[in-house]
Amino acid sequence: MVNVSAKKVTHRTAKARSIIVLNDTILEHLENDEIHTKKGPVFQIAIIAGVMAAKKTGDLIPLCHPLGLENC
């Protein structure tokens, strides 16, 4: 590992985008713009999973330092 403690803080931005294509059977299950399952609303759970993945970036990508996040 390299000591980066003396390195100046830099502002970085990362954006992600997803396009979801659903067939007619799944679209029929949409209720108020949401699909509900036994585990909860599908799209809200997907958002939570994305936030959790962003917070674990340093663990998921080899040789990646832990990242400080200000907004996710």
Tell me the average pLDDT of the chain: 84
Task: Encode pLDDT of 22-35 as tens digits.
Answer: 888 888 777 777 88
Angle at 4 between CA 65 and CA 53, to 5 degrees: 15
Tokens of residue 12, six digits: 């970085």
Neighbours of 22 (CB within 10 A): 11
What is the number of residues in the chain? Answer: 72
Task: Encode pLDDT of 34-55 as tens digits.
Answer: 888 888 888 889 889 988 988 8
Question: Hey, where are the domains in the chain?
Answer: 33-72
Task: Indicate the pLDDT class of residue 69, thresholds 50, 70 and 90.
Answer: confident
Its pTM surpasses 0.75: no
> Which DSSP category does 65 fall into?
P
